[in-house]
Structure 1
Amino acid sequence: MFRRLFVDHPASVNESYFQHMGMAGSFGWAMLKASGACFLHALVPGLCERTGSRIITRLHQRMVTNRVVQPARPDDAPGWIAANI
């Protein structure tokens, strides 16, 4: 169960747990900014006309276009995770 929740998915995208945490967190912040820009655009159509779509395009490039999907090496896991694998 531990491995499925904390190790398998990050490894499937060639990241350690902490690398994946940083990447997923950066995506979350970018999506929050895009969401705010879209709501602002809804209220004032002349503002943020392309901001949301620009952010989504960049995220797509980072997530899909430039993805290398291969298992991470077990020796890349932090000690407390490696000890529980």
Structure 2
Amino acid sequence: MFRKIFQDHPESVGETYGQHFQSAFGFGTAMVAGGIKCLIHGLLPTVFTTSGSDVVRTLHRRMVTHRHRDDQQGD
């Protein structure tokens, strides 16, 4: 049970639990920050004009382009 919860998925993406935690936390904070900037951009269209798309591009590059998965199922 412990292995299934804390090790199977991180290992499937070539990471330890700690590495996966750090990566996921980084992705999460980047998405929250990007989302807040998008909300502000909605109110004030002249600010943060590319911030949302910049975050999406950066995270896509980190997740899809530079990550090698053992399994291709994803979740």
Q: Normalising by structure 1, report the TM-score.
A: 0.79
Q: Distance in 2 between matches of 1:31 and 1:69?
A: 22
User: What percent identity do the matched residue pairs reach?
Assistant: 44
How many residue pairs get aligned? The number is 71
Who is 1:46 aligned against? 46
Of structures 1 and 2, the one scoring higher in RCO (CA 8 A, sep 6+) is: 1
Match of 1:80 in 2: none
Tell me, which stretches of 5 or more residues in structure 1 are unaligned? 72-85
Task: Give, in whole Å, the separation in 2 of the partners of 1:48 and 1:55.
Answer: 11
SS at match of 1:67: coil
Listed as ranges, the matches of 1:6-45 within 5 Å are 6-45=6-45
Unaligned runs of 5+ in 2: none
TM-align CA RMSD: 1.2
